[in-house]
Amino acid sequence: MRRLNRKKTLNLMKELDAFPKVPESYVETSASGGTVSLIAFTTIAFLTIMEFMVYRDTWMKYEYEVDKDFTSKLRINIDITVAMRCQYVGADVLDLAETMVASADGLIYEPVVFELTPQQKELQRMLQLIQSRLQEEHSLQDVIFKSAFKSASTALPPREDNSLQSPDACRIHGHLYVNKVAGNFHITVGKAIPHPRGHAHLAALVSHESYNFSHRIDHLSFGELIPGIINPLDGTEKIASDHNQMFQYFITVVPTKLHTYKISAETHQFSVTERERVINHAAGSHGVSGIFMKYDISSLMVTVTEEHMPFWQFLVRLCGIIGGIFSTTGILHGVGRFVAEIIFCRFRLGSYRSTSVPLPDGHTSNHLPLITENSTH
């Protein structure tokens, strides 16, 4: 009974077999067919390798939603060097809620030399070059997201020349926690003091000739500090042309959730617009000399997720490549042989020209002569 069931199963499978079976004696091989087969196999191998490289690669998917978190604090990471002594400058944050965050809450004032060493200049030049490429090719930002935590820090290395030059600048670095509302982080002359109607800076004891707001932004970011991420203002350097000069940066901050195969973090991207002008009250240019960074928080949140091609999709694409190339090359080969046979047949017919055969009655016949055994001897 088992053998009968097996035979029935085999017969059923044979009936379901839809693949053509052509005996080898019926298959005609040719040089053109071998050439087309070689081209087909080479193309399949090349496209398979390229498809495997696409399968290994990943891409970033961007999704947008409304940011409903209004109660948490926003972290601002700062590393700015100003070409003035630390006792002459002060930094703080004032938001739209009239909440003042003093620099003493998390910033460090460090006396340094403003001029960079050759090693630091080289790193800054590379950072500025990367910034220029990012402005031209926005897709490079995906590469930076993928390489987060794997790249080296973008901060300038410490000085190694042991310069005996006295410090002429102040490095303000650290972080502050502010409310998630629009605000203004600024660095100006004098230390900040609380005031019932806002805040003020003690600048009366500093002479205007000592004003110099030439500055270098080594790092400025919002949210969680992620090594390897390059922000729009990293590496920026501005040289003041006048003592009373104002530098303004208008920043739009976008909350961002980053999910890759390496990390999962909550950070903030931002775009910036720059403006600078000389303060001259006589000419109608009013304001306060200093560095002002006015930021605004976007109501949208971006979720950046690293995605990968599924394995089943890779197999489907691979089968499409192999089957498509075989079918296409077979059709092209058949059409090519058909065209070649037509051309060669015309040449062969043209080679058999008609000949004139004399007849006994003096007439001629234009038909081809018959070949007989007598005529061959």
User: What are the tens digits of pLDDT across the range 308-334?
Assistant: 888 888 899 889 888 888 888 888 877
Q: How far is CA 253 from the centre of its chain?
A: 20
Question: Using H for helix, E for strand and C for coil, what is the string for 267-289?
Answer: EEEEEEEEEEEECEHHHCECCCC
Rounded-to-integer distance, Cα 59 and Cα 166, Å: 50
Please write the tens of the pLDDT for every residue from 31-89: 767 787 888 888 888 988 988 888 888 878 888 888 888 778 889 999 999 999 888 88
Provide the angle, in degrees to the nearest 10, between the axes of the packed helices 311-351 and 31-56. 160
Identify which of 111-120, 191-200, 311-320, 339-348 has the greatest average pLDDT: 311-320
Task: Give the residue from 81, 82, 85 showing the smallest Cα distance to 167.
Answer: 85
Rounded-to-integer distance, Cα 123 and Cα 130, Å: 11
What are the Cα distances from residue 348, in Å, to 337, 351, 353, 354? Answer: 16, 5, 10, 13
Decide if pLDDT at 22 tops 70.
no
CB 64 within 8 A of CB 301: yes
Q: What are the helix (H) ranges across the chain? A: 2-16, 31-56, 118-136, 140-146, 311-351, 373-376
pTM confidence score: 0.68
Q: State the average pLDDT for the chain.
A: 78
What are the Cα distances from residue 200, in Å, to 103, 193, 355? Answer: 14, 6, 118
Helix (H, G, I), strand (E, B) or coil at 68: coil
